Structure formats: C-alpha cells, structure tokens
Structure 1
Amino acid sequence: MALAPTTKAVAGALPVGQNSPQNPAHGLYTEKLSGTSFTAPRHDNQQSWLYRILPAAAHSDFEEIDMSTSRTHLSSEESRLRQIPNQIRWDPFDFDDTVDWVHGLNLVAGAGDPVLKRGLAIYVFAAGKDMGKEAFYSADGDFLIVPQHGVLDIQTELGRLLVRANEICVIPRGIRYRVMLPEGQVRGYICEIFQGHFQLPELGPIGSNGLANPRDFQAPVASYDRDETEWKVIAKFNNELFVATQDHTPFDVVAWHGNYYPFKYDLGRFNTLGSISYDHPDPSIFTVLSAPSDTVGTALADFVIFPPRWLVAENTFRPPWYHRNNMSEFMGLIAGDYDAKIGGGFRPAGASLHNIMSAHGPDARAHEAASNAELAPQKVGSGSMAFMFESYLMVGVSKWGLKTCQKVQHDYNAESWTPLRSRFDYDGMPKSGADGGFQ
C-alpha cells in the first residue's frame, strides 16, 4: 500500500532523524523488515523499521513438523495439483471445531512454485480453536484472507487487526501472527501469492477516485506484550511446516514505521462503477486489489468482488455474458445469492473454478429469467457478496479439493448448461452458408 504509518506504543520509542541509532531508546533492538529487494525502484520498494524488545532471530533451530500426523493439507499427497478443463463447483465447505488456524488450512487449488517465487495457492480455512503461545508466518508469500463466517482477532508483530466477514485482511510474507477466535468457529478463503505484493489497481480513464480508496485501508498500531515464557514460531516454508521455540513472546514490537505491514479493508466501502448507457464493462471494473505479473496489464492475481449495485444499462442482458477467458477464475460467496447463479448450487462458503478457456456463464434458469426481464433500473446483489480470485495461470486442483473434502458437485455442468436449448430461428433460413466476404 502507498501509506507509510508511523506508530509507537511508548513515548520516545521511535528514533528521530535516523532509522538505526547506536543505542535505541528504552534499550530496544532495531530490526529492518524488507518485503522487496533493497534496490527495488522507490515506487515498488516496501520495507518497515521495527523497534522491539528482542530481535526475531532469537529462537532455537527450526525443526520440520511431521505433516503425516497433521490435519493441515498443504504439502502431502493431498496437495498434488491436477490441471483439468472441466468447470468445477463445490458445496459449502465444512466447519472444523477441532483445529486452530494453522491446522485449519486446506489447499484447494494453485499453480507455480514458492521456491522460484512464481505462482499462487488458494486455500479454504476452517477453525474452532484459538492458537496458543505460538506465532505463524509464511515465507512463501502474502496471504489475502477473506473470512466468510466468524471473527478473526489477528495479533501481528506490528499490532492487532479484528477482521469480520465482509472484510479482508492481507498479511505480507514473513510477518508473524496468531489468530484468536472471540466468537468461536470461523471459515473462509485465502489466496497466497508467491511473487510480488497486492496493490491497488491503476484507475486509468476512471481518474483519481473510485473502486477501493486508499483512505479506507486500516493498518495496525504498535502494541507489545511482556512475556518471558516459552513460545513457538511456526514457519510455512516451501509448503512445509517447521517449528522453533524461544523464551519470549514474538509480539514485542514497541514501535514501527514504514510501508510493509498487514492491513484490513471493509468490502462495504468499495465504490462500484458501471455502464450508464449500454453493455457491461469488463469485470476488471470490480477489482479491489491486484498482484501484477511480469506482463504489463496481466495479473498474477486479481481480487474482484460483486457487491450490491445498480444495473441501469439500456437494451442489455443483465447477468454476465457467456465467455471463455484467458484467465482462471476461482469464485467464492460470502453471503446471499450471486445474480448469475440463481439455481441454488452456488452457496455461501462454496466455490467454483472456471479454468483458462473453460466456457461458462449464466446457468439456464438465470439466462431465461434475464432474457425475459423488464429492462428497468435494478438493484442487484442486496445482502450478497461474491468474490473472485482471477489469475493468468492455469490453476490445478488438489486431491483434497477434488476428492477428500467430498464437496465437488458432479452435476454442475449438467445442471447449469446442459438444459440450454437452441433459440435460433430456422424459418426461412438456408441450411448452411456464408456471405463470402468481410465486413
């Protein structure tokens, strides 16, 4: 994000005029947290300076966790990815009251390799227990967390974030945190990107305002604990889990400043834009955050939402058109009904995947209703919030996502598009032919 907060929990904890004084105030240690290379261009450079009671390096060696005994499905046989062209839809994923945040992560789909810092992973999470005296971080990439149910009280090194359904949270690579559940069970979705960071999309001809505005993103303020008992630090490193111990809390940052930090955003503050004459704009008009690829104008991951909004276009089919896309589309539903899927199969806490060039669009019932609807200004999506993780990569599905979770709807295609019938008027038309020229 472009903002660069400055925050302290104790007066005088932030040095004045320099970042790393010989003897920081209050006996603190200086630590630099870098989210980009030191020499990245200024507009891309992300780093923060932390002033903490003990540096993050003060821990034992990391030991690999035996994943065969874990409920987490990240790197075992369950996570092997299969790339298939079929449209896939999942019933709502289950709650799991028996696990905490770390052990409630399940890989559904992904592409690429965190070792090479290329690609992404998509998870669903479900948990019912607080994390104990432990902190978790991913060295693989940034987590974009989309809660569907419940409240996440996220204690990060840089301060706390309380994240509810219809809000999102981004925790950048390497930042340590733990998740508490003040209202019990939680469930939702995560997109982890292995390269770059999420940023606001360029607005181009839209101008200086619209979509998600920078002022509505919230960063934590410095908040530290004093605890000199044993803690664990759990690292996600190339989709494996490792654990180290230390004799003090990881949450001991007394002050910090910079532009590399976790943040949250209320999706209800998104300023939707659309057509006021005819036809639909491309769905990119609903992009909240984007992680660019190396190809200009092409995203490793776009986070797109479909919130309540007015449709007013003249002589225009209201739901999205049928399409085949150069991007893979993973959709989830936080609440309500999605206007292009009225048949009942796409439900809150469920999901769908339409991979690269896999044809999709409104189901037969939605098409029939939209084709005969009165074309008047209409409010759609009231009480609803659907979203999409969109990527230029061909996304594979894990064994957990295809089989183990037992949520795949095997009648998705048959229910949605097989009932479509030809509407072509054959009367007076030749059986075949072409006009033999170009227009």
Structure 2
Amino acid sequence: MPFYHKLGQIPHKPHTQFRKPDGGLYREEVMGLEEFSSLQSILYHHFLPPSVQKVEDLGPAKVEFADYGPIRHHTFHTADMPTGGDLVSARRILLGNHNVTLSLSLPARSMEFFYRYGQLLEHAPYCERDLRPPESLETYTERGEYEVRIKVRDRITRHVLDHHPFDVVGWDGYLYPWIFNIQDFEPITGSLHQPPPVHQTFQGHNFAVCSFVPRLFDYHPQAIPTPYNHSNVNSDEVIYYAEGDFMSRRGIDQYDISLHPSGLPHSPQPAATEASIGKLRTNELAVMVDTFQPMQVALDALEFEKPDYMDSWLQGDGE
C-alpha cells in the first residue's frame, strides 16, 4: 500500500535540468517495477548509474528443492538453525515456488553490503501511520573501488564501480522500502470464530500474508475458539510461529515453521478444540503466508524437519 514520499533535494519538475553546485548536471534515474506502467521512483545521482568498471560472475544462486514425494504436512524446528555470516549470507531458503521464496536468516555479524494503491479504510486492521518510510538520506560522493552484488536470474554478479553507490542527493515517488511492525496490527474479533482473511495484512501476485497477534477470543456462549477443520483446495499454507502460546497446535515450538499443502485437511490436534472452550484470549504471535502455487521444501530445510508432525493428529481419540 505505497504512498508518495520524497527525501533530499529534487527539482520542481521531473526530467528538467537539476544542477550541482559546480554547475554540472545531476544524473536522473527512473526506477520502476513494470516498464513505465507501475510503481516507480525518480532518483538523482552524482555519478552516471550505468558506469561499471568491472563485471564478475559469482556463480549460481539457484535453490535446490527436495522431491515432492507423498503429499503430507511438514513442520521445521528453525530454532536449531546455526548462526553465521551476515544478513544475506546467513539466509537459509526453506520453502519456495515460482512466485514466493521463504527464508530465515540468523546472522552473526553486520553487513559490509547493503541491499495496489489507495488509502486504507477505517475498518482496516492498520493505517498509513503504521507504515514507516525512510526518514533520512545519506549521500556519499567518494571516489574509489566499490563492489555491488546483484542477484538476477538465479545468479549473483559482482560489479565494481569507481564511485560510492550511495550517491543519490534526492528522490521521490512510490517505489521504496518501508517497515510495518506486526505489533501494530489491530486484530478483528467477533462473537464466533473469524476466518483467516480478517487477519490479512498484505497481498501480492499468487500469495497473501496474514498476521496472528494477541487478541480476545470469540464471545458467543457456545463459541469454539480454535479453528475448524480446513482443506486448502488451491493453496498451500505456511505459518511461522514467532512467540507466545499456540492454542491450536500441539508439538509446536517457538520459531517453528509449518507447511500445510493443498489437497490435505488440517485442524487443531486432538484435544485442542475441547481445551480451548472457555478461554478468554490468546497471546500467540505468528505470520501466515498462503501461496497459490505449490511450495517445495528446500534441501537445506530437511535437517530441521520434525518427522513425526504428520502423526500428531493420530494421538488421542480424536476428541
């Protein structure tokens, strides 16, 4: 839900002369998502953006996925993942398809490298005030040898510039990074169990993101707080359990990731439904991603999988 934003120095009109203190022109760059028909921002550089001194192939960045095998539910205990590297190099891709890649990073050091429109309505679970755009702009004009790593088409390429890449003096537009803190999500509750779409936070091409945050349970006298049995006919469901108590899941630990693929029903484990009746609230914090293409399990994820998760619905008498 991007909105217009600007930082630094920009001319009164785009595509007009914008000069440096020494009289030279700043270099205007239009950066867009889909040619000139979607979100874009205009950046003003000290140096010519295409100027690259050296190009080097750093090898493939293609993800290796495990064979599909039998369709079953999965869960991965990511608390056991080792730390190491920086934010990018420590990243372990766990699940993915042609549209969505889900990874987790437990960095051990800081990085030497950096890497539908409209207004939200009153009934939305968050508002524009909760979105945090960039607040400051740092400009560097030093000359020297600077490395930029670019990931395109499953490969990483190393470009060497003769100037600092952060040479922008100003920019404006709709295409920029921003932050949304899940703690700012305001849950929607009702007298009966609310379906997952009320928790939806974002939507992209072939995926949706939902936020499960601490909230009051349903208040109908006959309400059942836990979710009902559910079959994903055309979507896979991935949940990252960040913190708190997850009333509908037994055997789930903090930082676990579950995958419930399309074609299989899933539900709270035995006894969880009965145990939830009469409870007033939940303190769970979790992020759900629904994808509309099947997710594959990356080979890196197999060492963290809990092999008995599929059997967790066999325990007890099924209530």
TM-score, reference length from structure 2: 0.89
Indicate how the Cα distance of structure 1 residues 390 and 418 shifts in structure 2: closer, same or farther if over 3 A, else same.
Answer: same
Q: Note the residue ranges of structure 2 that are not aligned, 5 or more in a row.
A: none
Superposed, 1:21-32 pairs within 5 Å as 21-26=16-21, 27=24, 28-32=26-30
Deviation string, structure 1 residues 49-83 (Cα, Å, up to 9, x no partner)? 1112223322235322135xxxxxx415x345637
3-state SS of 1:66 partner:
strand
Structure 1 gaps, min length 5: 68-73, 113-118, 136-176, 178-198, 294-299, 424-439
**Residue of 1, 16, 19 corresponding to 2:14:** 19
Paired residues in the alignment total 313
- Structure 2 residue aligned with 1:436: none
User: Take 1:59 and 1:97, find their aligned partners in 2: how far apart are those partners?
Assistant: 34
For 2:107, the aligned partner's letter is: A
Pairing 1:387–2:287 present:
yes
Find 2:301's aligned residue among 395, 398, 401.
401
* Maintained 8 Å contact 1:15/1:24: no
Closer, same or farther: CA 312–14 of 1 in aligned 2, 3 Å:
same
- 1:225 matched to 2:212: no
CA contact (8 A) 2:3 2:117 kept: no
Distance 1:253 1:31 in 2: 10
1:106 paired with 2:92, answer yes
AA aligned to 1:395 is: M
* d(CA) in 2 for partners of 1:23, 1:422: 71
Q: 1:225 to 1:365 in 2, by over 3 A?
A: farther
Match of residue 163 from structure 1:
none
Distance in 2 of aligned mates of 1:256 and 1:230? 25
Whether 2:51 is the aligned partner of 1:58: answer: yes
CA distance in 2 between partners of 1:256 and 1:81 (Å): 45
Q: Does the residue aligned with 1:331 lie in a helix, a strand or coil?
A: strand
Cross-structure match for 1:46: 39
In the alignment, what sits opposite 2:247? 339
| 1-structure distance, mates of 2:169, 2:62 | 35
CA deviation after TM superposition for structure 1 residue 420, in Å: 4.4
In structure 2, what is the Cα distance between the partners aligned to 1:264 and 1:234? 23
Flag the 1:422–1:265 CA change in 2: closer, same or farther, 3 A.
closer
**Correspondence 1:39-438 to 2 at 5 A:** 40=37, 45-66=38-59, 74-75=61-62, 78-79=64-65, 82=68, 84-94=70-80, 96-112=82-98, 119-132=99-112, 134-135=113-114, 177=115, 199=116, 208-221=122-135, 222-276=137-191, 278=192, 280-291=193-204, 293=205, 300-314=206-220, 315-325=222-232, 326-341=234-249, 343=250, 345-370=251-276, 373-374=277-278, 378-381=280-283, 384-402=284-302, 406-414=303-311, 416-421=312-317
Cα contact 1:210–1:272 (8 A) shared by 2? no
Counterpart code for 1:412: Y
> CA offset at residue 86 of structure 1?
0.6
**TM-score computed with the length of structure 1 as normaliser:** 0.66
What corresponds to 2:32 in structure 1?
34
CA–CA distance in structure 2, aligned partners of residues 100 and 86 of structure 1: 33
Alignment-mate amino acid for residue 160 of structure 2:
T
Check conservation: 2:84, 2:106, Cα contact below 8 A. no
Q: Structure 2: which amino acid aligns with 1:216?
A: D
CA RMSD for the aligned pairs? Answer: 2.3
Q: Structure 1 residues 225 and 246, CA, compared in 2 at 3 Å: closer, same or farther? A: same
Q: Distance in 1 between matches of 2:80 and 2:176?
A: 31
User: What secondary structure sits across from 1:261 in the alignment?
Assistant: coil
Kindly provide the CA deviation profile for residues 286-328 of structure 1, in whole angstroms up to 9, marking residues without a partner as x.
011111x4xxxxxx11111110011133112111111111321
| Distance across 1 between alignment mates of 2:268 and 2:237 | 14
Query: Is the CA contact (8 Å cut-off) linking 1:84 and 1:396 kept in structure 2?
Result: no
Look up the match of 1:433: none
Distance in 2, matches of 1:349 and 1:107, equals 15
Partners in 1 of 2:174 and 2:47 — Cα distance?
22
Partner Cα distance (1:396, 1:237) in 2: 21
Q: Is the 8 A contact 1:91 1:408 kept in 2?
A: yes
| Contact 1:96/1:128, CA 8 A, preserved across alignment | no
Give the Cα–Cα distance (whole angstroms) in 2 for the partners of residues 102 and 422 of structure 1: 43
Whole-Å Cα distance in 2 between the matches of residues 96 and 397 of structure 1? 19
Separation in 2 of the partners of 1:81 and 1:19?
51
Q: Distance in 2 between matches of 1:329 and 1:379?
A: 24
Amino acid at match of 1:266: N
Instruction: Decide whether aligned partners of structure 1 residues 84 and 47 sit closer, same or farther in structure 2, where only a CA change above 3 A counts.
Output: farther
Q: Deviations over 1:253-292 (max 9, x none)?
A: 111100001000121111211223x3x222011011111x
- How much has 1:22 moved relative to structure 2? 3.0
Distance 1:92 1:107, change over 3 A: closer
